[in-house]
Amino acid sequence: MRILHLVGQREDAGGILSVIRCLHQAGPAADIRHTVWVHRDYAESRSPTLDYRRTGFIASDSTSHLAIFFTSALAFFSLRKLLRQESFDVLHAHTRGGLIVALLAGLFLGRRILFTNHSYANRTWLYRWAARRDWMTTVVLNPNMAAHYGLAVEPPKCSIIFSGCADRFLQEPLTTNAWPSADPLAKLKLVGMGTLVRWKCWHHPIAALAKLPAELKARVEFHLWGPEQSDADSQAFAAELRESIEQLGLQKTVLLRGVTNQVTDALRDGHFVVVASENEPCSVSLMEALALGLPALAARSGGNVDIVRDGTTGLLYDTGSIDGLRDQIASILNGDFTPAPPAGIRDSVRGWAASEMAAKYNRVYEQLAKRNDDVS
């Protein structure tokens, strides 16, 4: 079986490509081959290597709706040409632009489409309209997301499939850097892992650290790992982060570490992983950190509430609350919270393994491929 993932990205970053890599690694056992449709300028920077098809037109995720629809129309003709050259059993869209291209393929080519929604949109009408099409199957990442879009979870039409944590993280050695909560002088190392984009809200932990009392602030470091994206807003956001760090005098507290291919080492070097996003559908980096035995400090947002056991495998704070995040950091420093041992934290996410996710997707693929065969 062949799956074509409609992504349209220019850069090898973010959780969507991580999910596709997990599906790719599980594919051979199920006799499934995954191919990813990307922009011709896309440069792969992670492993394992994927099978790509490239287009000069990109299904834009611009903030301009006109730009999205125009580029998606051009991308559709590029996709139609590809589908005449190669046979794919399932078209699997992952982005807003990819969804529009997939909708055009459904309307004009008679294809049955799978769309995984990886984000929370402010305008939800397109997603609701798409989900009601007879030939559209929708996957959301958590129950909160289904409610956000007003979707009834009724498999196989609409299903919940959490993004999976690569199985290798559950097989890696556990962290030996557990937080010594009984030591009143211990220095806390927080780790953030993710692209420097505005919706990740990395400015929140920076602002929270700035509000700590001086004696506590001196005992914290925040190491933020992640690439900068090339679009104008992401570049502006990265510049704003640097400016805030300098203006708040946090140069020795907040360290922008850039890209790393040694994710496990970077995570195990910390005491807590930080997930600050206001609308975090299903954080892969959060699950990876928990799989290594790291507790979490996360916003009470989206999938975080399903993944983190508040008060046991980590601490949650009210989404967007700078003071709430500051207070949770202070409680850790003051020894008021002792997380579960690393082995217990790992056990809490065994159900989120990528192999489990892949098995669920494979069942959806088989159903869609059969329905496409019946139509043809």
Topology alike, domains 2-164+353-375 and 168-351: yes
Cis omega (within 30 of 0) on the bond before 156? Answer: yes
The yes-or-no verdict on residue 124 having pLDDT over 80 is: yes
What is the pLDDT confidence band of residue 300, given thresholds at 50, 70 and 90? Answer: very high
The yes-or-no verdict on residue 1 having pLDDT over 60 is: yes
| pTM of the entire predicted model | 0.85
Q: Which amino acid is at 258?
A: G
The CATH topology of domain 2-164+353-375 is Rossmann fold (3.40.50)
Distance between the two ends of the chain, CA-based, in angstroms?
Answer: 16
Q: Residue 10 and residue 269: Cα distance in Å, rounded?
A: 30
Q: Residue 285 and residue 214: Cα distance in Å, rounded?
A: 30
- Identify the residue whose tokens are 């990740």: 200
Q: What is the DSSP string of 280-348?
A: -S--HHHHHHHHTT--EEEES-TTHHHH--BTTTEEEE-TT-HHHHHHHHHHHHTT---PPPHHHHHHT
The yes-or-no verdict on residue 69 having pLDDT over 80 is: no
Minimum mean pLDDT range among 16-20, 128-132, 287-291: 16-20
Which pLDDT score, from 0 to 100, does residue 225 have?
A: 96
Structural domain spans, the chain: 2-164+353-375, 168-351
Which pLDDT score, from 0 to 100, does residue 59 have?
A: 65
Contact 355, 167 (CB under 8 A): yes
The yes-or-no verdict on residue 63 having pLDDT over 70 is: no
Q: Which amino acid is at 199?
A: W
3-state SS of the chain: helix, strand, coil percent to 5? 40, 20, 40
The yes-or-no verdict on residue 137 having pLDDT over 90 is: yes
The yes-or-no verdict on residue 375 having pLDDT over 60 is: no
Q: What is the pLDDT of residues 145-185, one digit of tens each?
A: 999 999 999 999 999 999 988 899 999 999 999 999 888 88
How many other C-beta atoms can be found within 10 angstroms of the C-beta atom of residue 356? 16
What is the pLDDT confidence band of residue 288, given thresholds at 50, 70 and 90? Answer: very high
Burial 65-100 (b: 16+ CB within 10 A, else e): eeebeebbebbbebbeebeeeeebbbbbbbbbbbbb
Burial 287-305 (b: 16+ CB within 10 A, else e): bbbbbbbbbbbbbbbbbbb
Identify the CATH number of the domain defined by range 168-351.
3.40.50.2000
The yes-or-no verdict on residue 81 having pLDDT over 80 is: yes
Q: What is the pLDDT of residues 333-374, one digit of tens each?
A: 999 999 999 999 999 999 889 999 999 999 999 999 887 666
Q: Residue 120 and residue 215: Cα distance in Å, rounded?
A: 38
Contact 301, 204 (CB under 8 A): no
Kindly list the strands in the beta sheet with 2-6, ordered across the sheet, starting from the edge strand earlier in the chain.
51-55, 33-39, 2-6, 90-93, 113-117, 136-140, 158-160
